Amino acid sequence: MSWERSTQAVKKAVNHRGVGLLLIGILLGLIPAQAAHADTISVCDSGCDFTTIQAAVDDPGTAAGDVIHLTGAVHVEQGIAVTKDVTIQGQGAGSTTVEAHETPGSATDRVFHVAGGASVTIKDVTIRHGNPTECPMYGGGITNEGVLTLENVVVSDNTAKSGGGIVNQGELTLVNCTVRDNASTGVGKRRGSGGGIKSMGGQLTIVDSTISGNSAAGRGGGIKLCCNSTLDLVNSTISGNDAQREGGGIHIRGVVTITHSTISDNSASAGGGVLVRGNSDHTLGILDITNTIVANNVDGGDCTVGDEGTIGANANNLVGDGSCSPAYAGDPKLAPLADNGGATWTHALLPGSPAIDAIPAKSCTLTADQRGESRPAGRALAAPRCDVGAFERQADTTPSTNLLAAGGLAAALLILTIAGLAIRRRRRTAG
């Protein structure tokens, strides 16, 4: 333990235990100094331990594992450098906002910068209005160079030359998050890429999350994955993003695995939903995609494999225009992006969607959908089947044509037979 941290612990413990007992305990080795260190630190405008997040992080008494608790509704602070292994905790994304400036586009820095070597969790906050104006002018909401986990976080209305919402150069995980309405504007003749997220290197993992309404002047309206990055996209929705060049939803130059996700309503000059571009030895630009919907993308087609791009695993996918050799093609009958329950918005499957019950039971690899609803939905089949995409239509909703083909017709005939017998019995009784 450093002298500064020990001193801070002694000061805190003195306030509660008294000088004599504390010093005797420490000298005899009976009371470790760190036991008196508070593990929760409050930040608000007044009446808390600190008035800024930066001061809370930088304080010598703040140690690995501490929780920095944001108690105010709106906290205005930019350029927050997180250099320690801490958790920054709000009261919910709808209740706690950390913004670089009160007005979008008026800040001069990003909101958070997670330094290399730091392992950080940010939970239950909205991060917005970042706008870095000095080099490096990327990562409007967050730049991550360490190990960062976002849980129940909204990253919205940030702007940068590249990576409007988030730039990742380390290990980044999003769980139950929304990245929306961010913009990558470019600078000079260089068009910006990664409107929502740009992963320049390292690992990006996105689970039960929605990337929507982001825009890029260059490539990757929703997500831009560069050569030295990998992406695992699980139970997530990529919707309504726009790129002026390629890859409206996702632009892939690295290695990507997509499972049970929905990619819809995006647009670009090429690869409106997904664009994969590789290299000559086929070690980059690789897409493994299963149980996923890629459809209704406005411009540029649903799925485009560019120069040297590779589609690896390719099973149980529904691609609207039939590109990228899917198992199913055609209209998946998606409802608009909306709050259908759960932490993030989804595209519900409308009655009669060919995506309903299209996946054999043995290929149902996830036990819940993006909202946390059961997958498969437990319909009365000998071997329950899963829906394609991030949304699993539940058992109390209208069965699909696939359900009828898989055994629902027999069940319906049985119900009609039973009803007919009951009617005949009533008639005999009446007679």
Per-residue model confidence (pLDDT) at position 336: 98
Residue 12 within any structural domain of the chain? yes
State whether 190 and 270 are in the same domain: yes
CA dist., res. 68 & res. 238, Å (int): 31
Per-residue model confidence (pLDDT) at position 380: 58
Residue 394 within any structural domain of the chain? yes
Beta bridge partners, 347, equal: 337
Query: Exposed e or buried b for every residue in 229-266, given b needs 16+ CB within 10 A?
Result: bbbbbbbbbbbbbbbbbbbbbbbbbbbbbbbbbbbbbb
State whether 217 and 365 are in the same domain: yes
Q: Which residue in this structure is represented by tokens 């493994």?
A: 288
Residue 104 within any structural domain of the chain? no
Residue 229 within any structural domain of the chain? yes
State whether 301 and 193 are in the same domain: yes
Per-residue model confidence (pLDDT) at position 186: 85
Q: How many other CB atoms are found less than 10 A from the CB of residue 49? A: 17
Global pTM reads 0.83
Structural tokens at position 228: 């030295």
Instruction: Return the sign of the alpha-carbon dihedral for residues 254, 131, 237, 302.
Output: negative
pLDDT digits (tens, 9 = 90+) for 375-414: 998 665 668 899 999 999 998 644 444 433 333 433 333 3
Per-residue model confidence (pLDDT) at position 279: 85
Beta carbons of 355 and 346 less than 8 angstroms apart: no
State whether 200 and 252 are in the same domain: yes
Res 8 pLDDT > 60:
no
Per-residue model confidence (pLDDT) at position 307: 84
CA dist., res. 246 & res. 299, Å (int): 10
Phi, psi (degrees; rounded to nearest 5) at 294? -130, 100
State whether 364 and 410 are in the same domain: no
Structural tokens at position 239: 């919707």
Number of domains in the chain: 3
State whether 223 and 244 are in the same domain: yes
Secondary structure of the chain as H, E, C letters: CCHHHHHHHHHHHHHHHCHHHHHHHHHCCCCCHHHHCCCEEEECCCCCCECCHHHHHHCCCCCCCCEEEECCCEEECCCEEECCCCEEECCCCCCCEEECCCCCCCCCCCCEEECCCCEEEEECCEEECCCCCCCCCECCCEEECCEEEEECCEEECCEECECCCEEECCEEEEECCEEECCEECCECCECCCCCCEEECCEEEEEECCEEECCEECCCCCCEEECCCEEEEEECCEEECCEECCECCCEEECCEEEEECCEEECCECCECCCEEECCCCCCCCCEEEEECCEEECCCECCCEEECCCCEEEEEECCEECCCCCCCCEECCCCEEEEECCCCCCCEEEECCCCCCCCCECHHHCCCCECCCCCECCCCCCCCCCCECCCCCCCCCCCCCCHHHHHHHHHHHHHHHHHHHHHHHHHHHHHHC
- Give the mean model confidence (pLDDT) for residues 179-203: 90
Structural tokens at position 238: 């990529």
Phi, psi (degrees; rounded to nearest 5) at 146? -110, -140
CA dist., res. 198 & res. 180, Å (int): 13
State whether 377 and 408 are in the same domain: no
Per-residue model confidence (pLDDT) at position 280: 79
Residue 327 within any structural domain of the chain? yes
Percent of the chain with pLDDT strictly greater than 70: 81
Per-residue model confidence (pLDDT) at position 308: 86
State whether 210 and 290 are in the same domain: yes
Res 37 pLDDT > 60:
no
- Give the mean model confidence (pLDDT) for residues 28-36: 43
pLDDT digits (tens, 9 = 90+) for 79-104: 999 999 999 999 999 999 999 999 99
Res 24 pLDDT > 70:
no
- Give the mean model confidence (pLDDT) for residues 7-30: 38
Res 325 pLDDT > 60:
yes
Phi, psi (degrees; rounded to nearest 5) at 298? -70, -50
Per-residue model confidence (pLDDT) at position 189: 57
Residue 45 within any structural domain of the chain? no
Give the N- to C-terminal CA distance of the chain in Å, as an integer: 93
pLDDT digits (tens, 9 = 90+) for 282-314: 888 999 999 999 999 999 999 999 888 999 999
pLDDT interval class at 56 (50, 70, 90): very high
State whether 357 and 320 are in the same domain: yes
Per-residue model confidence (pLDDT) at position 318: 98
- Give the mean model confidence (pLDDT) for residues 245-253: 96
Phi, psi (degrees; rounded to nearest 5) at 21? -65, -40
Higher pLDDT, 158 or 420: 158
Going from the C-alpha of 245 to that of each of 145, 216, 217, 429, the distances in angstroms are 27, 8, 7, 74
Closest by alpha carbon to 227, among 293, 268, 280, 292?
280
State whether 319 and 422 are in the same domain: no
Res 5 pLDDT > 50:
no
Per-residue model confidence (pLDDT) at position 247: 97
Residue 355 within any structural domain of the chain? yes
Res 68 pLDDT > 90:
yes
Instruction: Return the sign of the alpha-carbon dihedral for residues 37, 43, 44, 46.
Output: positive
Going from the C-alpha of 299 to that of each of 194, 219, 289, 381, 428, the distances in angstroms are 18, 14, 21, 39, 64
Query: Exposed e or buried b for every residue in 53-73, given b needs 16+ CB within 10 A?
Result: bbebbebebbbeebebbbebe
State whether 272 and 361 are in the same domain: yes
Spell out the residues 6+ positions from residue 118 whose beta carbon is closer than 8 angstroms to its own. Answer: 82, 83, 84, 85, 146, 147
Lowest mean pLDDT among 63-67, 173-177, 385-389, 423-427: 423-427
Lowest mean pLDDT among 134-148, 268-282, 402-416: 402-416
Domain span at residue 249?
161-398
Residue 80 within any structural domain of the chain? no
- Give the mean model confidence (pLDDT) for residues 145-165: 98
CA dist., res. 211 & res. 214, Å (int): 8
Per-residue model confidence (pLDDT) at position 188: 57
State whether 343 and 415 are in the same domain: no
Res 428 pLDDT > 50:
no
Q: Mean of the per-residue pLDDT values for the chain? A: 86
